[in-house]
Amino acid sequence: MLDKDLYEILGVSKGASESEIRKAFHKHAKKYHPDVNQGDKAAEQKFKEVNLAYEVLKDKKKRAHYDQMRAQGRNPFAQSAHAGGRGHFDPDAFADFGLGDLFEEIFGRGGFSADVGGMGRGGRTTYRTRGFAQRGHDREAALTISFQEAARGSERVLDLGGGRRVSVRIPEGVEDGTKIKLGGQGDPGQNGGPNGDLLLRLQVLPHKDFKREKQDVVLPLAISFSEAVLGKQVEIPTLDGTVQLKIPAGISSGQRLRLKGKGIAASRGGHRGDQFVEIQIKVPKSPDDEYVKVAKALENHSFNPRA
């Protein structure tokens, strides 16, 4: 039973302001929350007491009523030796304030019994209450998406089991490891409490062609020696389909050509990045006689790439 003053439970003075009471509640609720102290019965009991104290003291009417009773030397939550050792509780003290859920958590899940004066000889009234409402636990799950979905966004319909299906919008520009919260799709709440949330952790698959550099995408493009020397018009892929790209004459390996606005938008909005085409000049591993003949013809050319 509660033999402490409600102000003592929250660690505030009797003249504490609403703001001070609220801050004290958040501090103690965080400290004794069941998620932080799993399996700790003492912390669980303390958490319930903190909730009860806050429910009374945050409300001006309830607080005034409590203060009045304490001024009269009565503690409505205290247990005393009474009527053959039964726990005595003042059931009328907060009968009209809807605190039954909290009382049950403090005084036992079967409800509490109290001897009530003025009800006749040995009058005994049993008060039955419901459980203290608790929010369900959050859950986390991995969701694998393609590079294209991450870059351009998509919508998925997920089967959560038990006949539950939910639509999930994947925003454009999300990155590997991004979390999406589905409110109320976690574990069910207890005793009328709200459900927890489901957190989806995105896992983005690599693309066979593109690499991502923040909001830009990079496409390695292999070209031949002659294409590098003479230039050429080629067809290349982008995230939005194929386009024609003009390779200028005299280009070198490692140079990048930019396609403006063909990259990825930031997940929180904004302009899209660019697509860069990175040139890679390739020569045959086993050149035929004709290729060797052309190369030898250029062997004594004045161009020196190391100059």
Mean per-residue pLDDT, 225-238? 91
**CA dist 96 → 61, 93, 192, 205, 222 (Å):** 11, 8, 20, 58, 80
Look at 52-61, 65-74, 100-109, 188-197 and tell me which has the smallest mean pLDDT.
Answer: 100-109
Could you give the CA distance from residue 42 to residue 37 in angstroms, rounded to a whole number?
9
Are residues 243 and 163 located together in one domain of the fold?
A: no
In a domain, 212, yes or no: no
Does 305 reside within a domain? no
Pairing of strands 198-204, 139-145: parallel
Q: Are residues 81 and 119 in the same domain?
A: yes
pLDDT at 299: 76
Which residues does 182 contact at the CB level (< 8 Å), separation at least 6?
166, 168, 197, 198, 199, 200
pLDDT at 78: 52
H or E stretch including 278? strand 275-282
Tell me, what's the pLDDT at 91? 43
- What is the mean predicted confidence (pLDDT) over 211-223? 94
Q: Which two tokens stand for residue 151?
A: 């870059």
Residue 159 domain flag: yes
Determine, yes or no, domain membership for 78.
yes
CA atoms within 13 A on the CB side of 140: 6
pTM, whole model, 2 decimals?
0.51
Taking residue 90's Cβ as centre, other Cβ atoms within 10 Å add up to: 16
The answer on pLDDT for 210 being more than 90 is yes
Average pLDDT, the chain: 78
CB contact set of 272 (below 8 Å; sequence gap of 6+): 215, 261, 262, 263, 264, 265
Residue 214: inside a domain, yes or no? no
Under the banding of pLDDT at 50, 70 and 90, the label for residue 3 is low
Same domain, 168 and 241: no
- Alpha carbon distance 171, 49 (integer Å): 43
- Which residue segment(s) compose the domain that 12 sits in? 6-127
* CA 6 – CA 67 distance, rounded (Å): 10
Shared-domain flag, residues 44 and 123: yes
Helices 100-107 and 41-57: crossing angle, nearest 10°? 150
Give the pLDDT score at 122: 39
Whether residues 34 and 85 fall in one domain: yes
pLDDT of residue 77: 60
Tell me which of 127, 152, 186 is where a domain ends: 127
Q: pLDDT value at position 254?
A: 93
Q: Is 10 exposed, middle or buried (0-12, 13-18, 19+ CB in 10 A)?
A: buried
Residue 306, domain member (yes or no): no
Residue with tokens 């302001």: 17
**Does one domain contain both 120 and 163?**
no
pLDDT in tens, 12-25: 999 999 999 989 98
- The number of domains in the chain is 3
Whether residue 112 is found in the same domain as residue 57: yes
Q: Does residue 40 carry a pLDDT above 80?
A: yes
Residue 99 has pLDDT above 60, yes or no: no
Q: Per the domain annotation, does 183 fall within a domain? A: yes
Same domain, 83 and 44: yes
Q: How confident is the model at residue 43 (pLDDT cuts 50, 70, 90)?
A: confident
Q: Is the same domain home to 247 and 169?
A: no
Is residue 307 scored above 50 in pLDDT? yes
Give the separation between CA 279 and CA 298, rounded to whole angstroms: 22
For the segment 247-304, what is each residue's pLDDT rounded down to a tens digit? 999 899 899 999 999 999 876 667 889 999 999 999 888 888 888 888 888 777 767 7
- Using pLDDT thresholds of 50, 70 and 90, give the confidence band for residue 76: low
Rg (CA), the chain: 36
Q: Which whole-number Å values give the CA distances from 77 to 2, 49, 72, 89, in the listed order?
A: 5, 10, 14, 6
Domain boundary among 148, 177, 204: 204
pLDDT average, residue stretch 102-115 = 43
Task: Name the residue with higher pLDDT: 99 or 156.
Answer: 156
98 and 176 together in one domain:
no
Two tokens, residue 230:
């003479």
| Rounded Cα–Cα distance for residues 152 and 301 (Å) | 48
Any domain includes 215: no
- Contact between 213 and 278 (Cβ < 8 Å): no
Strand partners, 280: 222
Q: What is the DSSP letter of 175?
A: -
pLDDT for res 75: 65
| The pLDDT value given to residue 113 | 37
Angle (deg, nearest 10), helices 41-57 and 18-32: 160
Tell me, what CATH number does 55's domain have?
1.10.287.110
Instruction: Say yes or no: 64 and 102 in one domain.
Output: yes
Which residue would you say has higher pLDDT here, 304 or 188? 188
Name the token pair of 261.
């606005």
Q: From CA 63, how far away is CA 61, in angstroms rounded?
A: 5
Closest of 118, 117, 113 to residue 87, by C-alpha:
113
Q: Which of 158, 174, 204 is the last residue of a domain?
A: 204
Same structural domain for residues 144 and 105? no
**What CATH number did the domain enclosing 293 receive?**
2.60.260.20
CA atoms within 13 A on the CB side of 96: 4
Higher pLDDT, residue 167 or 130: 167
